[in-house]
Amino acid sequence: SSEKPIQANPKRSNMSNRIPESELIINPDGSIYHLNLKPEHLASTIITVGDPDRVGKVSQYFDEIEFTMSKREFVTHTGRFQGKRMTVMSTGMGTDNIEIFMTELDALVNVDFETRFPKTKHTALNIIRVGTSGSMRREIPTGSLLASAYGIGLDTLMTFYQTTYSQSEINLGEAIQKLLGLPFRPYCVQGSQKLLKVLGEGLLIGNTVTCPGFFGPQGREVRAKPAIPDIIEKLGSLDVEGFKLTNFEMETAGYYAMGRLLGHEVLSLNAIVANRITHEFAKDADDIVEHLIQHTIKKMADY
């Protein structure tokens, strides 16, 4: 159920649906502003990573690479793995990057760049995040691979979009707001159940907390004092009718919320490289990520 009906944009209501030049920015060569891509550069299966250097660690397994691009933190390789066309892209860190990434990715398939009108036929992409993450549970050690059933955003991105949530997502957000004493309600969004069925096989299934930072927002203290020093213990203690939280990172909830708004299948997969209860950081973090990359491309080759 949604809380408020989605409002028409007053700026657009008495105009056509043509998207102005200032809102959807297309570079002189016909590519989209930040990603620097044209529609033909994208496969419908998209693997995303935070670190630009991780793109090559995925595409090294491709039979062939047909296209590469690099702009800002957005590095793109498109090719084939076991005959299946895939694109691998880096996003950098944080949900603010994910907002740009998902909007431009969606525009590449769902907006006609010539007329600037949304296309009448919608294309849904399969988008899979292959990222690193910290565990907030003793029983989820480093080396674990975890698929996120839900993303819980402690950032404010979704304050700026008209989104619909299920009643249980709203209840969960309210419980976390109360638990942490936050001045706003965190947004909770379920990931793609279709992709979870395929990619979750053999992995742990968890619920991922997306934070607007790596240190204070995840309860880390280097020199600056976090405002909620016991955030790990608090989040770890949450139990809403058996629903528990498992891990921290910085993008998943943004992906899930933008995916729901734009109509794409999105799943976040996490290589657990830190355990925040045992204070351990994996010595073999690169190997853990490597396992997750191989798992993902093999499953998606058959999908």
Q: Which does 49 bind (CB under 5 to 8 A by kind): ligand R1P, ligand URA, none?
A: ligand R1P
Residue 251: name its binding partner from ligand URA, ligand R1P, none (Cβ under 5 to 8 Å by kind).
ligand R1P
232 binds ligand R1P (CB under 6 A): no
**Site for ligand R1P contains 93 (CB under 6 A):** yes
146, two tokens: 């975890």
From 90, 133, 142, 252, residue interacting with ligand URA (rule: CB under 6 A): 133
As measured in angstroms, the least distance from the Cβ of 100 to ligand URA is: 19
Stretch that binds ligand URA, among 25-33, 75-83, 131-139, 237-245 (CB under 6 A): 131-139
- According to the binding rule CB under 6 A, does residue 134 interact with ligand URA? yes
Binding of residue 290 to ligand R1P (CB under 6 A): no
From candidates 187, 248, 255, 256, binder to ligand URA by CB under 6 A: 248
Q: Give the residue closest to ligand R1P by C-beta.
A: 50
Applying CB under 6 A, among 48, 126, 218, 296 the residue interacting with ligand URA is 218
**154 near ligand URA, judged by CB under 6 A:** no
Does residue 31 interact with ligand R1P by CB under 6 A?
no
- By the criterion CB under 6 A, which residues form the site for ligand R1P? 49-51, 93, 131-132, 214, 249-251
Residues that bind ligand URA (CB under 6 A): 132-134, 214, 218, 248-250, 273-274
